[in-house]
Amino acid sequence: MTNSSLSESRLKTLLREPTLHFLAIAIVIFALYTFSQNRGGKILEIDQREIDARIFMQEMNRGEPLTETQREVIASLYVEEQILVQEAITLGLDNDVRIHDMLAQKMRHVLSGGIIQPSEAELRAYYEANVSRYETLPNISVNELVFTSQDTLPDEMISLLNASAEPEQLLELEQGNASPLPNVNHIDLSNIFEPEFADTVFAATIGQWSGPFLSNRGQHWLRITGRVEARLPLLNEISDRVRLDWIAEEEESRLQLEVDQLWDQYTVVIRETGQE
């Protein structure tokens, strides 16, 4: 192999070296520093690890190494971002309610980090202390019968309703429509109609028609076809939900403890308006 071929081979090997890539980026950043100093005398210190981390994340997301040009772009964008941040701080733009909220929220995440998983005993104790949270509401399935007229129904219809007649038989005598409402609880019915009507329906026996409830659609009659009483699921049925609730509550508790400890480190002075 000729000396020229050996030189080309060594050059290609060097160009593939990550260290050389980072050195090139460092040179670019140094050039930016020099340019900045020559222009305005401001010095911006950049941590090379921050740039390396951004390059690494981009390569992880793409699933392939970045080109030298792409690496230089990332370095330049990071420097530009830091310049803008410094200028924003100089202008006092960091003294903003939204920025303060974001920083406080981020600090809360830092303080509440490292939550452990509950033990089986802790999980069961939490479940037993919060059974009302996990108890299902009683629900019913009903037939809804809507007559298009809001007028008082004939005596014959009232008699049939009191006798728990089937919707098909009733619709032969009065214009309207029927549809099922499966698995609704008291809150559902209260939202659809009114709480008072929901009370009446839930108090009825299976097969008994309750009504009328007047609306712009006409008059509504409801008949219970099935009922499911309130139930407390077993812990093993909802263990994932209980575990997440425990973690959320424990996180909030630990967070508040950390915040309280920070409070103890400060003496808070509230100045009156206009006070220097």
Compare 249 and 95 and report the one with higher pLDDT.
249
The residue assigned the tokens 């002075």 is 269
User: What whole-number distance in Å separates Cα of residue 83 and Cα of residue 78?
Assistant: 9
Domain 137-228 fold: Chitinase A; domain 3 (3.10.50)
pLDDT of residue 155: 94
Tell me: pLDDT of 146 over 90: yes
Q: In what order do the strands lie in the sheet with 218-228?
A: 176-185, 139-147, 218-228, 209-215
pLDDT of residue 6: 42
Compare 18 and 201 and report the one with higher pLDDT.
201
* Residue ranges of domains in the chain: 3-95, 97-135+237-276, 137-228
Tell me: pLDDT of 231 over 90: yes
Percent with pLDDT over 70 in the chain: 79
pLDDT of residue 3: 46
Tell me: pLDDT of 44 over 60: yes
Q: C-alpha distances in angstroms, 169 versus 173, 196, 218, 261?
A: 7, 28, 18, 72
Give φ, ψ of 136 to 5 degrees. Answer: -75, 150
pLDDT of residue 258: 82
pLDDT tens, position by position, 154-176: 999 999 999 999 999 999 999 99
pLDDT of residue 4: 47
Tell me the average pLDDT across 211-234.
96
pLDDT tens, position by position, 76-89: 888 888 887 887 78
* Pick from 31-45, 108-122, 255-269: least confident: 31-45
Compare 56 and 38 and report the one with higher pLDDT.
56
The three-state secondary structure class of 174 is coil
Bridge partners for 214 per DSSP: 219
pTM: 0.50
Let me know how many helices (H) and strands (E) the chain has, helices first.
12, 4
Q: Render 113-151 in DSSP notation, one character per residue.
A: --PPPPPHHHHHHHHHHTHHHHPBPPEEEEEEEEES--S
pLDDT of residue 37: 47
pLDDT of residue 201: 97
pLDDT of residue 113: 64
pLDDT tens, position by position, 62-71: 888 999 999 9
Tell me the average pLDDT across 149-153.
94
* Pick from 74-88, 95-109, 168-182: least confident: 95-109
* Helix 120-129 and helix 239-263, axial crossing angle in degrees, nearest 10: 90
